[in-house]
Structure 1
Amino acid sequence: MRNIVIFICISLFAGVLSATENRFEQGFEQGIRFLESQDYDKAIAAFSDVLKSDPANFKAFHSRGIARFLKEDYDQAISDFTRAAEINPRYFEAIHSRGGAWLYKKEYDRAIADFTNAIEINPLQAEAFRGRGDAWFCKGDCGKAIADHTRALDINPKDAEAIYKIAWISATCPDAQYRDGEKAVAMAKKAIELNPGANFLDTLAASYAESGKFDEAVSTQEKAIALLDTKTSEEYLSRLDSYKKHKPWRENFTVPWKKQDEDEVKSEIVSEATHSPEIKTEIVSEAKHSYPEVETESVEKTEVVKKETPVSDTPGSDYPYTLHIFSYMNNKEMAARTVIRLKEKGIPAFSFCSDAPGKGAWCHVFVGYYDTFESARNAASELKAQKLLHSADAVRRPYSLWVGLSNSFDEIKKLEKELSQKGYAVYGIPGSQNLVRLLIGAFETKEEAEGLILVLEKQGIKTKVVKR
């Protein structure tokens, strides 16, 4: 149905332990780069090369399946996902991805079976419940769809996708027993607080219509249409016409997959490592980097210090390496949720998003900061060995954007909150004189970092490029 967004998993894998594994890693990373640049044929070739040398590499099968899926070669994608699951039957990502592919092929029963298997492997993944909820909805079972999206919401109360889908079903289900206009309006408004996108406004408009508030439905639907291009607004216009005639919208399950769904899926496919890391509270000391402990007296006296001299010039402040954990396409919310989930368990994660012309917005999640590639690689190996993370790739990202200095925990948290409200994640690296350098992002080149400065300045955030 409309408003269905399939989240297909890409697991960014790294395990650099030998010359042979390093060669595999380089080939795998190259494939990921081709995926990010939407060069799917080259991505398929890169993953195929990895499989020639390592035919049991289930992550390469899975990632090649992602590339084939994005080329709309769904049968071959399912074949690759299946091969990955045969090699590793507990590989959540492959089974979840195959469920998404079946859903896109309108094979709803098969999709439900795969999502159910994924849930059995990891019952704490909201995405699998949402996927199964989508399949139930496409089959016309509003009750089971609401139940699954509610389960997703129980796992993550800020899951905007689950919230707005419950609102949509509550507003548009043909079966009156599942419709509740007031509930739909409340849920839709809550979703918009998290993501004011066109889908969410479209859902609020339908909710207003179900509640009999057609003037509000019309004005809200017009706002949603204004956010779309002309090629994707046909259904939105149909709903607007319905509201102008004082008719609420009803889903038509005899036409289970509309053009609007296909456009949304193509534009919102993300590389999502939906397998939640089995994170333990005890963190490896070598891999854990957080703000330095500050005595209470120091916190009371110290304010955030803004300096014009780049802090990277101070001795011992060079940490050019980090661990690349996940990347998400067009999904800043998912990246932010991943960071929160990791930080709650003591893992120093951070993220940033970059918008490349013609390639979409990619949001990357990183962990830690290291002075040498060897130390980063060792940290990645220890984190994976202790099952704190399932994937971690040591990479060189020497540049960042500097926003300030402080040794006050309260001031650091205040700045974190202020910038997070604008959509940016701040993280800290130890500087000189027991101060913490507050940074945004981790970039491969200085030019890449400079590209974000103008965007930040338009939002009133003053920053500069520095070496990490």
Structure 2
Amino acid sequence: MPATMTLKKIVFGAIFGLVAFGATTAHASVTTSPEHHLLSTLNYVELEAEQGDKNMQLFLGRAYLEGSNGLQADPLKGMYWLEKAAVDMPEVKTLIGDLFKKGEVLPRDHEQAVRWYTEAANEGDVPAMVELGMYYASGATGSVDCGNAIKWFNEAANGGSLESKRNLVWLYATCSDDRMRDGERALKLAKQVLSRNGTGDAGDYDNLAAAYAACGEFRRAVEAQETAIGKLDESNGQRYANFEQRLKLYQQNQTIYSASL
């Protein structure tokens, strides 16, 4: 085995065997601590990262951002390495989006989060699609954008996200943009969700009721909403009150126009 490969195995094992993105092994000794190994081999680690080792790039990116494993926090260096790791890796782009969204090791920046999520989603990353759908549906981008929310939830649902299909039911049934409302599609999706194993909770019946109401089937909407309420605990506070309010609307043959998810 070439000497460089032997050294790489030693360094990789020392760092990644004891550390997973900043979490150290509970009983590492001083001489075997990740800080000791990383600082003593930092030049080698950075050389491997520069030559394209994605694991090393990811590790250095998180270590510099968090100021962990013996390295002083340096956001510029951290982003430098994460951006290198993100090339051709949409899941790393999603990770960067998460960091900007959470605002813990990087300043909270929704514009940057959406930018990175969009890049990842365009490369097929389903979690990024879900995050984009939530951003547009919640109004976190400045205002509710049903069109983009529906677009990304559809992509995520096609990628296997059941929660995105649930969100589509609500948006198609209640979106305040008449161009995006589609009661028939909402009802079809609501029934598809309820046909899946592990579904049928209060939220699923709440969605079904909204879909029936969007189709003008208010008697069935009332029945579905009563089922949803029956599955809630009254101690569920605001959610219980919201469900009751929707029931009253359906009893008065009124539909819902929701501002957001």
Task: Using structure 2 for the length normalisation, give the TM-score.
Answer: 0.62
Q: CA RMSD in A?
A: 3.8
Unpaired segments ≥5 residues, structure 1? 1-14, 32-48, 65-78, 254-260, 262-468
Amino acid at match of 2:81: I
User: How far off is 1:99 after superposition?
Assistant: 5.6
Residue 148 of structure 1: which of 148, 152, 160 is its match? 152
Deviation sequence 1:261-287 (CA, Å, 0-9, x none): 7xxxxxxxxxxxxxxxxxxxxxxxxxx
Question: Counterpart of 2:202 in structure 1: which amino acid?
Answer: A
Pair 1:224 & 2:228 matched: yes
Shift of 1:95: 1.8
CA deviation profile, 1:41-91 (whole Å, cap 9, x unmatched): xxxxxxxx96797585445678x7xxxxxxxxxxxxxx9999754431112
Q: Is the 8 A contact 1:99 1:114 kept in 2?
A: no
Q: In structure 1, what is the Cα distance between the partners aligned to 2:194 and 2:164?
A: 12
Which of the two has greater strand per residue? 1
Is the CA contact (8 Å cut-off) linking 1:51 and 1:57 kept in structure 2? no
Q: Note the alpha carbon deviations across 1:83-118, whole angstroms, 9 max, x for none.
A: 75443111234223136437xx99754442231133
Aligned to 2:180: 178
Q: For residues 162 and 16 of structure 1, what CA distance do their matches in structure 2 show?
A: 41
Do the aligned residues in 2 keep the contact of 1:171 with 1:179 (CA within 8 Å)? yes
Return the letter of the residue paired with 1:216: R
Distance 2:147 2:227 in 1: 30
Pair 161,27 (structure 1): closer, same or farther in 2 beyond 3 Å: closer
Of 246, 250, 259, 1:239 maps to 246
Could you tell me which runs of 5 or more consecutive residues in structure 2 were left unpaired when the two chains were aligned.
Answer: 1-9, 27-32, 40-58, 67-72, 87-91
Deviation (angstroms), 1:246: 1.6
Aligned residue number for residue 127 of structure 1: 127
> Which one of the candidate residues 18, 25, 39 is aligned to 1:23?
18
5 Å matches for 1:134-213? 134-137=134-137, 138=139, 139-154=143-158, 156=159, 158-194=160-196, 195-213=199-217
CA contact 1:130–1:149 (8 Å) conserved in 2: yes
Would the aligned equivalents of 1:111 and 1:132 in 2 still touch at CA under 8 Å?
Answer: no
1:132/1:145 contact within 8 Å kept: yes
The whole-number CA distance in structure 1 between the counterparts of 2:232 and 2:36 is 44
CA–CA separation in structure 2 for the residues paired with 1:61 and 1:198: 44
Residues matched between the structures, number:
202
SS in structure 2 of the partner of residue 177 of structure 1: coil
Query: How far off its partner does 1:133 sit?
Result: 1.8
- Tell me how far 1:249 sits from its aligned partner: 1.0
- In structure 1, how many angstroms separate the alpha carbons of the residues matched to 2:63 and 2:82? 12
Equivalent residue number for residue 115 of structure 1: 117
Larger radius of gyration: 2
Mapped partners of 1:152, 1:169: distance in 2? 14
Q: 2: distance between equivalents of 1:170 and 1:220?
A: 17
1:115/1:129 contact within 8 Å kept: yes
Instruction: Go from structure 1 to structure 2 and tell me whether the alpha carbon gap of 1:233 and 1:108 turns closer, same or farther (over 3 Å shift).
Output: farther
Match of 2:82 among 75, 84, 88: 88
C-alpha change, 1:106 and 1:52, in structure 2 (3 Å) is same
Match of 2:42 in 1: none
1:114-155, CA deviations, whole angstroms, 9 ceiling, x for partnerless residues? 3113335xx12122112112222222221121112222233x
Distance 1:51 1:192 in 2: 51
Aligned partners of 2:134 and 2:224: how far apart in 1? 24
Give the distance between the partners of 2:15 and 2:179, measured in 1 at CA. 60
Partner letter of residue 204 of structure 2?
F
One-letter amino acid of the counterpart of residue 169, structure 1:
L
**Partner SS, residue 201 of structure 1:** helix
- Cα deviation digits, residues 217-263 of structure 1 (max 9, x gap): 1222222233333234232222222222221111125xxxxxxx7xx
Classify the secondary structure of the residue corresponding to 1:248.
coil
Answer yes or no: is the 8 Å Cα contact 2:101–2:110 preserved in 1: no
**Matching residue of 1:284:** none
State whether residues 210 and 248 of structure 1, in contact with CA within 8 Å, keep that contact through their aligned partners in structure 2.
yes
Structure 2 matches for 1:457-468, cutoff 5 A?
A: none
Over residues 171-225 of structure 1, what are the superposed CA-to-partner deviations in whole Å (9 max), with x where a residue is unaligned? 0011111111111000111122233233222211111111111222122222223
Q: Larger relative contact order (C-alpha < 8 A, sep ≥ 6)?
A: 1
Contact 2:166–2:190 under 8 Å retained in 1: yes
1:393-408 correspondence runs (5 A): none
Contact kept? 1:82, 1:94, Cα under 8 Å: no
Q: 1:99 to 1:248 in 2, by over 3 A?
A: farther
Partner residue, 1:320: none
Q: Output one character per residue of 1:342-401: Cα deviation in whole Å (capped at 9) or x when no partner.
A: xxxxxxxxxxxxxxxxxxxxxxxxxxxxxxxxxxxxxxxxxxxxxxxxxxxxxxxxxxxx
Q: Give 2:255's match in structure 1, choosing from 234, 240, 248.
A: 248
Write the letter of the residue equivalent to 2:208: L
Distance 2:108 2:241 in 1: 22
Aligned-partner Cα distance in 2 for 1:124–1:30: 34
Structure 1 residues 217, 99: CA separation in 2 closer, same or farther (over 3 Å shift)?
farther
The structure with the greater share of residues assigned to helix is 2
Alignment check: 8 A CA contact 2:168 2:186 kept: yes
